[in-house]
Every structure is written in C-alpha cells, then in structure tokens.
Amino acid sequence: MYDDLRISGTRGRQSVVPAALPATAALFGVNGALLASWVAEVPVVRSELDLSDARLGVALAGVTLGSVLSLPFTTRLLRRLRPGGVTFLSGAVMAAGLALTGFASSWPLLVASLVAFGAGFGLMDVALNVVGVRLEAQLHRSLLSRLHGMYSLGALLGALLGALLITRGWDRPQHLTALSVLGLIAAAGCSRGLSAVTDYDAGDASPAPAWRGGLTVPLAMLGLLAFAAAVAEGAVGDWAGVYLRETVGSPPGVAALAFAGFSLTMLLGRLAGDGLATRFGPGPVGAGGVTIALGGLGLAVGVPVLAASTAGFMLFGLGLSVLAPLTFSAAGHWSAGNPAAMAVVGGVFYAGFVAGPPLLGVAAQGSSLRLAWLVVVVLLGVALVLTPWLCRRTHEKTLEAAA
C-alpha cells in the first residue's frame, strides 16, 4: 500500500527525470532560502521583542513544531495532490507564515507565525525527500546528498541576502515580505516540474499500518541519528547568531554571516558527499564527518573570538553536512523506498528540531550559552558510535542496485 509511489507516465524515466530532478533540486533550495531568511532575523527579533533565552527557544521551536504537526497529513496530500500540488501548497503556506513573522509584534504572534511557516516547510521537505529517494532508485545512483546540497545553497544565498539587507537598513517586515513573495513565485514555477513525476494508487490512506511496520530496530537507530543531526543543525541556525552577537560581541549583520559560512561548508560537503559515500562507504564518511563537526564546535565555543568562532562553525557545517542525507538515504533504501519509513525518520528529525532550541535555551538560562552547546556534543558523540554500523548495510544495497 505504501510501496506504490512511483515514477508515472508511459515514456519511462528518460522523459520524466530531466524535469523532475532540477525541479526537486530547486525546491530544496527554496526551502533553504526561506528558512535562512528567518534565521538572519533571529538576533533582531530577540532584541525588538526583548525575549529571554527560554522564550526565544520556545519561539524557535515553532518552526519544527509546525513541521511535526504537518506529518500526519503528508501521505493523504501526496495521494490527492501529487508532489507538484503538495509542493505548491506547502510553498504558499511557508510564504504566508514567513510574511506574518515579519509583522509579529508580540511573542504569541511570533510563535503562531513560525508554526504556520514550519507546517509548510515540513510538508515540502518530506515530499521532496520521498521524490529524491525514488529518483535514486530510478537512476541507480546516489542523489540525496547533492539534493540536500541544494538546500544548503539556498540557505547560503538566503543568509547572504539577509545579511546584506539588514546592513542596508531593511527592517524585518520589508525583508521577510520580499522573500515570501519571491519564494512563492519560485515554488509555483518549480512545482510544475513535479506535476507528472509521482502518484499514489487509490486505496486506504491511513498511515498507521505502515508506520508500525517500519518501526524496526535499525530504523529506530536511524531515527536517533536523525535526531542528533537535527538538534546540531538547528542549534547553529537558531543560536549561532545569538552566540556571536552576545558572547563574542559581533554586530547583527556580521552575526548573520556565521550562518552563511556554515551553509557554505554544508553545501560543499553535501556536493561531495555522494561521491565520497560511493567510494568509501557511508559509515566511514559519516563517522569522519561527525568527528570534524565535533572539532569545529570545540573551536567555535572554546575560542570566543569572531574569526575563530566563525571558522569553527564553518568546520561544524562541513562535518555535519553528510549526516542527514546519509540517514534519509539509509531509511529509503532499507525500506525499498517506502514513504512511511521516510515519514518515521522525518518525524524524529523534526522532533529534534522541536526539542533542540528550547533545550539549548533552558540550558543557557541555567548556565550560559557556551555551556549549553554540550547538549550537541553529547548527541554527536552518540552519532559517532552509531554511524558506521547503521550505514554499512545501506552501502551494500547501493552497490547491489548499481551493479
């Protein structure tokens, strides 16, 4: 019932992939750019609304809370609207939520706007990952790391544009409204490329049987990896700018550049990730990446100087870049492309984004933001142990499919 997502049409993959692959890549980029636009405004929002660490953490969790809330509707929407319709709908919801975030004048309004933005973001992300895994199966080669790299490229461009507009004097409503309009236009155009890519056969849309069937021990462990990756990635997006502004003492525009540097190294790592995983195997690549990430975080937090902290966050992005794509790819290939398996891992991934910001916020409230980063260190330590074992079988299956 959940294995019926497929490349549709009678002309074969050659006629579908030329439109589907660039459209999927571009939509990953739209997701990254819109999220980075909000991230660039986090230090500004904190100052304008006078938010404590704990309140800011809860507000930041609104994005991923909305993502989690959208998951139960993903399968039904994919069946009814197909990925093209789902990505257009999610793009519209994201654009509306981001624009409302620009005008939020109180903490409750900010949280509500971010929940709406997160609902669109999560719906888009799961749909694109499902399509990405199916395209990998059609082409018999790894694609997901490069597709996630397009997300990082979008985040990089969004962060750079945000830093530029903030330093040029654009206020929050101007910046986020402009990006909302651009994002909606891009989502509408790119979604047309997915209109005939995949569909679901008619049938029972209840996700419960497949969710229960997908909860194997390996998939649960992949969920733990996804949780660690989400907390680590979200921590940089939500707290790096605040850390640089308040602990290191950099101005808002420069603080936004830290996320741009993080996004740049994430992009480079993900563009190289597919080739590295094919050559050396996902396990060694994942373990090596986590090791680099831990070293970079140690530099960023251990040496609170602008140059050192920025370089540390860039190393952190380089190391962390491969963890989420390897995890989603493993879930897809382990389950033979079952969308429910992607939803399981995606749900835990978003739970990490939900838990991470308030967890670091509460830890910072009780001690300091520098010590709060130990939460990320512990989770990445667990990921370092699990990655080689969990990815070994995925690498074997990928080689078998390519043979």
Q: Residue 141 gets which letter from DSSP?
A: S
Q: Radius of gyration of the chain from Cα atoms? A: 20
The whole-number pLDDT of residue 282 equals 82
The whole-number pLDDT of residue 9 equals 41
How far, rounded to the nearest angstrom, does the alpha carbon of residue 234 sit from its chain's CA centroid? 8
How far, rounded to the nearest angstrom, does the alpha carbon of residue 26 sit from its chain's CA centroid? 14
**Is the separation of the CB atoms in 326 and 391 below 8 Å?**
yes
The whole-number pLDDT of residue 212 equals 45
Blockwise average pLDDT, block size 10, the chain, 403 residues: 39 56 92 91 90 84 84 81 89 96 95 96 88 79 87 87 91 95 93 66 38 63 90 84 83 74 88 87 88 95 89 94 88 69 79 77 82 91 84 54 49
The whole-number pLDDT of residue 269 equals 94
Tracing tokens 């960023």 back to the chain, one arrives at 300
Tracing tokens 């308030």 back to the chain, one arrives at 358
HSE at residue 319, side-chain half, CA atoms within 13 A, is: 22
Domain parsing of the chain, residue ranges: 9-402
Please give the Cα distance from 338 to 5 (Å, whole number). 8
Q: What are 203's two structure tokens?
A: 């049938």
Q: What are 359's two structure tokens?
A: 């967890």
Could you tell me which of 387, 233, 224, 226 has the C-alpha nearest to residue 320? 233
Could you tell me which of 123, 97, 120, 121 has the C-alpha nearest to residue 110? 97
Please give the Cα distance from 104 to 52 (Å, whole number). 17
Alpha helices (H) in 171-281, listed in sequence order: 172-191, 208-214, 217-235, 241-243, 252-280
The whole-number pLDDT of residue 83 equals 83
Strands 6-7 and 198-199: antiparallel
9-402 classified as CATH 3.40.50.300: no
Please give the Cα distance from 266 to 157 (Å, whole number). 13
**Is the separation of the CB atoms in 361 and 246 below 8 Å?**
no
pTM of the model: 0.76
Dihedral Cα 9, 19, 266, 252, nearest 10 deg: -120
